Amino acid sequence: MAIPDFLVIGHVAKDVDDESWRLGGTAAYASLQAARLGLRAAIITRAASDIEFERLLPGVDALNVSSETTTVFQNRYENGRRVQRAWSQAGPIGAEHVPQEWRSARMVLLGPLLRETPIEMTRLFSNGLVGVCPQGWLRDRRPDGQVVRRAWSELLRGVDLVFVSDEDIGDQKGVLEVWSRQARIVVVTESRHGARISFEGRWRHIAAFPHNEVDPTGAGDVFAAAFMIAFDETQDVAQAARFAVAAAGLSVEGEGAAAVPGREAIERALAEHPEVVLK
């Protein structure tokens, strides 16, 4: 197995509507963003055999640990807020599912959807840049399938970057200060309002790039992958922030993963909007 540049761990999901479904989840959106930026991208996930990874995630090496079920989410947006239901969930992902050679990946992003993988998995990766999207640890699933917030404040040992949305955090604002003392960089995405970033003891803000929103699903995952990759390339938080908000803005202008942008489109957006900077 070739060692990936960018490895994402977490469930892919079937995001369903009334008539059809499309592939979703942090593992799907973040790995596609990495692949479209020219990196060797890979995921470790669990899903049933009906998911056609080669077709749905072109350019991504998918290690699918067989599961009887696939995680199925239904996302509805009501008054600008997402209402989610999880109709099924695939099996857990543990350390035993991570190939030894993949533990040397240059960048690793843990992106659970519903606590399918433990935070302790970050300790497997001591050589690369490690990021987490903790939304899956901040969720519970009720018996009727509705996804609701839960309190969670585990120690982020070995984590370099944290990416979370203001929607996921809710009223648990205090946890951000805890995480900012444990991780090098903490990012709170705020949809059309951009993002807040904590680095070297200071919170800063960057506005969103102008965009025509069609479908916001996956924008935070695109942001996370784009930020990690740009930071790995430049070691500059301000440049990484600009690159990430440009990528996220482009990703919402189409339906689903098809809108995840390539490097040329992102560079063009950066050139067109020099006014959007980290302040």
User: pLDDT (tens digit, 9 = 90+) per residue, 91-100?
Assistant: 999 999 999 9
- Does any domain span residue 254? yes
Q: Rounded CA gap, 125 and 128, in Å? A: 6
- Does any domain span residue 228? yes
Please, what is the average pLDDT of the chain?
Answer: 92
* Total structural domains within the chain: 1
Mean pLDDT of the region 140-147: 90
- Does any domain span residue 279? no
pTM (predicted TM-score):
0.94
Helix (H/G/I), strand (E/B), else coil: 258: helix
CATH (domain of 174): 3.40.1190.20
- Does any domain span residue 156? yes
- Does any domain span residue 278? no
- Structural domain boundaries enclosing 170: 6-272
User: Which residues make Cβ contacts (< 8 Å) with residue 188, sequence separation at least 6?
Assistant: 164, 165, 166, 169, 176, 195, 196, 197
Mean pLDDT of the region 249-265: 90
- Does any domain span residue 1? no
Question: How does residue 79 score in pLDDT terms, banded at 50, 70 and 90?
Answer: low
